[in-house]
Every structure is written in structure tokens, then in C-alpha cells.
Amino acid sequence: MSADSAIDEEPVAVQPLSVDMRRLTRVGSRPNFLDYLVQLWDFRQFIFYDARARVQSGTRRDRLGSAWLLLNPIFNGLTYFLIFGLLLKTSKGIENFVGYLVVGIFIFQFSSGAITSGARSIRNNKSIVQAFNFPRAALPIGANVRELLSAVPLVLAMLLIVVVLPPAEEITWLWILVVPAILLQSLFNLGVGLILARIISRVHDVTHLLPFVLRAWMYGSAIFYTYDRFVTHPQVLALIKLNPLFNVIDIVRDCVLYARVPQWQSWAILAAWALGVLAVGMVYFWKGEESYGRG
Amino acid sequence: MDAAEKEIFIEGHPCVVVDSVRMRYRVASTASSDADADTPKPRFLRRAVNKPNMVTVHALNELSLVVERGESVGIIGRNGSGKSTLMKIISGQSKPTSGAVYASSTPIMLGVNAALVQDLSGDQNVVLGCLAMGMSRAEVDRKFNSIVELSGLEKSIHLPMKSYSSGMASRLRFAIAASVDPEILLVDEALNTGDAQFGDRSKRRMDELREQAGCVFVVSHSLDTIKDMCTRVVWLDKGDLIMDGEPGAAIKAYQDFTRHLSKGNNISAAKILEDAKANLVATEVRGRSSRRSRG
């Protein structure tokens, strides 16, 4: 390697070679979007294996192992209960505040965890990206599958808490609706993760901002208070209620705590966000395919 | 050099076409820059605002190669001559600043730098690595035993990668990378991995792979290895192509060059370089998409 100041190339003899390029493809070139999706499907075993192996190894370092997957949101819930429930009394007018809080925190943590690990998946696995040629979106997708897998015990624990802690709620058929809600939420997480993964692979500084944005989002998602109590302006309220995470939480609360069928508007807003962001995220991520792990 | 005017027509389909590839990096230098001297700023401001002094490194100057089926190309040169950069570009690990590499199938880099996941165990890494190379799960299961055998890790295969010595890790990497039978094979200094016993095994596997591969690129500091393996040698120095041709002549010139250098005869070394460069006929790739071209 030579530094900047060096060499003006002197003219050398040049031999033109006529080469048949028909069967050649450019190394590392980005396939078109549909081919890309097909490639991803071909790598599904990689995605699932990656997700599964890492769920198992994720907490091996801790003494309590996988229990931390549960203990973490429980302690979080306890903290917020002490501060907002007992000290600040934001609980006023909320039926079953403990359940309300638990659902909010568990569901939000699923999103914040999934978005964070999706966003960091390219950076954290730079060495794998450099070593192997596979469609890069496999990594953010794998991260989200992993988060979804580890969310299963989390959601079960959440439901258990709701059943056990007074005022105990009854199990109804509506509880099944939690599944599609969380799946839609997961698609939304993936979309956001894909967008952020490309941004972070270029500008790493964004990882430092991410926790703040997520925290602001959490405070804005009616986890330990209700919107209706603090926002009086009807248009502002309608606008705030477009928040996709608020809608997931709202749907789950309706099903689990209040035994009422969630409004179709909530589903529509959630589905629109999930599919829209996923589509945008996929295309945006695919456009950067050639740039990941390089340079 | 008169022949340089006439276009040479290459029959058939080449394996790899390196078309006017050039590589530059912008990196931070700790040397104080001259540019700053013109616009004096207070020191604290410069520290806070300015990035560290950025320098452009010419890792590889414009280079074209056409490699046909059946060729084994050895790449030689001093440290920092751009050998590994060229290999990374051919394998698609890094994207050239300009130019492109075309290949008839995905080139596979067989080196000691295929990455693994530290938290996972050896066997999980085997599966993950193979899946990342696009194998199916059934194929992985079929090859699993031979991979473990080649790595020579035996029972340690079930321990996490974190606990491996660097020798063990690189043996495993080699074994994983060597499990595919690529058409285009890149070998980067992989021969001197691990102890003598592993050396034998890996050499045998490498010979197998080389026989099956359509074309091979080898980077090695061992000129004997290059002489044994290669039908063509490319000599790079400081990012410039110096020679491209018969192994005998190129290796001899390179040996003369390094001998003079080590004796401190910088002037005669430079002369060898000049002579070689003067005789160099650079390649210019002219792609065609039909089988025949008019003269």
C-alpha cells in the first residue's frame, strides 16, 4: 500500500482481450427484488438455525439462565408500579392497573428488544457477513425470529401474571387474538429493524441514539397512564392513537383484561403499519445489499 | 510490444474476469496533516470538530486479469502489496472503488478468516457456517462427520468457540470452508494452519479441492507452494501489477528483487522492478456478448 502522494502511472503497453461475458455474473451483485426474496426463502434453514441456536446461548453466561428473559420485564414492571402506581398515581381511573401495566411493559419490551437486535444484526455479525455470501436480510430476519421465539415464554408469563395477581382475570376465547396481534407486531419490528440495520451499517452513531428514541416511544405509548386522561384535544388524541405499539398494547389489553373485542380500527392501524413498514424496510434494505460488511 | 495493438480473442468462457479494478481506502492517520496548517483553528476546536487526519491509501491500482478454466494463479508480493485486497475483491468480500469482477460462479475463499460465532459451540458453528454457504440441512448432516474429522477437534467440537485456542478455531474455519466443492477457489495463506498433523490433512483436502476446481487463486508467502501449485503467477508491488506470466520467470524476478532488498541494495531492487514493469503488457478487458467477433 502506498500513501496518497505516490505514483502517477506511467503508460504501459496494453493488450486488449475480447472476452465472452455471457455466462459471467458480477461478483457480489445485488439480485432483483423478487430473486432476492426467493434467495431468502432458500436460506430459511440458516435463518431458523441461527435464531434457535442463539436463543439457547443468549443467557448462558448468567447464573439464572433463561429465567432472565422473564425476570427482566417483571422487575421493570415492579419499578414502574412503584413509581407510577404508588407515587405518582397515574393509575387513577384505570381498571386493574397491575394488569394494565404488565401488559404494556411486556408487549413494549418485545418490540424494543426486537427492534434493537434487528437494527444491530448487521453490525454485530460483520464477520459472518464478510465470510459468507448469503442474502443479508437473513440476519435481521433471524434476529426477529429469535426475539419472537424468546417472546413465547414471555407472553405466557404475562398471561399467568394476569390470571394470578388480583384482580384475577378470567380466560376467554378472546385470548387467542393475542397471537395475531403479536405476529403483526413482529412484522412491524422486522420492518423497523431492517431500516435501522441499513442506517446503522453506514452511520454507527445511530446505535447510541436508539435507546433514547425507544424510551421516548415507551413513555409515549400509554403504558402506565391512559391517553384520555392527559390529552384533551380530540385531534391530537386521534393522532397519538395512530402509534402502532399503542395499538398492539390496546388490543392485547382489550382481549386479556377487559374481555372485549378489540375495535377493528385498532387492527386496521396495526396491520397497515406492520405491512407498510415491512415493505418499505425490505426494499430499503435490499437496495443497500452490496454495501453491508464492506469497506 | 507491437502485438499490444491487436485485440486477442479468447475462446470459450473464462472463469474469472477482473475488469479495471481499483481499491482505495480513506483511513485515519495519526500523523498531523499539512492541510490543517493553512487554516489554523484553536486546538480544542480542531479536536472536537475535525475527524482525525484522513489519508487515502491506494491498496490496489487499476488492474485487469482474465483467468480461464484450468488455470491456477499464484499471487506474490511483499507485505502490503495488495495481494489480500485483490483476493477479497475477487471473492466479493470487499467492493472495489471502481471496476468490477465477473465470475462464472460464486468464488469461495478458503482461508483462516471465515468467521464463526463465539457464543455458539463448534458443532453449531459447523451447521451455521454450512447453511450460510447455501447448503441444505440434509447436506450439512451428510458432511458433518467429515468436517469434524478434518478439523481434528474430536470432543472439543461440543464446546463453545470462546474456549478454543486460535489454532483450533482456525482449523475449524478451514474445515468448514473446505466442505464445499467450489468451481472458483481462493486460497489465502491457509496452508500453514495448525500443527503438522493437521497440515497434512488440510494439504490433502486442498489438493482434492484444487483438482476439482475450475480455477484457483493462491496467495502464499511460500514461493515453493506457488511453484508447485500454479500455472501462472501475478506479482504485485505496492498495489501495482509488476508481472503476470510464467511461474518460473516471475518467481525468479521476485526472488532477485527481495534478495537485493534484504541486502540493502535498494537501487538494484528498484531496477528489477522497473525492468519488469517496462516489459509488462497490461490487459484491457473488452466484453462481448456474442460468440464471435469481427477480427
> H/E/C letters for each residue in A196-264?
HHHHHHHCCCHHHHHHHHHHHHHHCCCCCCCHHHHCCCHHHHHHHCCCHHHHHHHHHHHHHCCCCCCCH
Nearest residue to A290 via CA among A108, A124, A137: A137
- Tell me how far CA of residue A193 lies from CA of A118, A170, A189, in angstroms: 4, 35, 6
Q: Does A5 touch chain B (CB under 8 A)?
A: no
pLDDT at A5: 39
CA distance B221 to chain A (A): 17
Q: Does B295 touch chain A (CB under 8 A)?
A: no
pLDDT in tens, B215-251: 888 888 788 878 887 889 999 888 888 888 888 888 9
Nearest residue to A57 via CA among B171, B148, B161, B144: B161
Cα–Cα distance between A180 and A178 in angstroms, integer?
6
pLDDT at A278: 96
| pLDDT averaged over every residue in chain B | 80
Cα–Cα distance between A106 and A76 in angstroms, integer?
9
pLDDT in tens, B252-290: 889 888 888 888 888 888 888 888 888 888 778 877 765
Cα–Cα distance between A137 and A115 in angstroms, integer?
14
Quickly list H helices, B93-195.
122-132, 137-151, 166-177
Q: Report, at the CATH architecture level, how domain B2-20+65-107+182-279 is classified.
A: 3-Layer(aba) Sandwich (3.40)
Pick from B116, B117, B288 the residue to mutate for testing the A interface (most A CBs within 10 Å).
B117
pLDDT at A250: 92
Q: Do A27 and B17 touch (CB under 8 A)?
A: no
ipTM (interface predicted TM): 0.76
pLDDT at A139: 93
Pick from A29, A132, A146, A201 the residue to mutate for testing the B interface (most B CBs within 10 Å).
A132
Kindly list the residues from chain A whose CB atom is less than 8 angstroms away from the CB atom of residue B82: 1
Tell me the domain boundaries of chain A.
Answer: 33-287
pLDDT in tens, B174-195: 888 888 888 888 887 655 555 6
Which residues lie below 8 Å from residue B293, measured CB to CB, with a gap of 6+? Answer: A18, B9
Tell me the domain boundaries of chain B.
Answer: 2-20+65-107+182-279, 112-181
Q: Sort B20 into a burial class: Cβ within 10 Å, 0-12 / 13-18 / 19+.
A: middle
Cα–Cα distance between A36 and A284 in angstroms, integer?
13
DSSP state of B119: T
Kindly list the residues from chain A whose CB atom is less than 8 angstroms away from the CB atom of residue B9: 18
Pick from A4, A7, A10, A15 the residue to mutate for testing the B interface (most B CBs within 10 Å).
A15
Query: How would you write the pLDDT of chain A (295 residues) with one tens digit per residue?
Result: 444 434 444 556 777 777 777 778 888 788 899 999 999 999 999 999 988 888 776 656 666 666 777 787 788 778 877 887 777 777 777 888 888 888 998 899 999 999 999 999 998 888 788 778 889 999 999 999 999 988 888 888 888 888 887 777 888 888 899 999 999 999 999 999 999 999 998 888 899 999 999 999 998 888 878 877 777 788 888 888 899 999 999 999 999 888 888 889 999 999 999 999 999 999 999 999 888 876 4
- Tell me how far CA of residue B295 lies from CA of A19, B9, B10, B174, B292, in angstroms: 13, 8, 12, 46, 9
Q: Which of B9, B133, B239 is the closest to A1 by Cβ?
A: B239
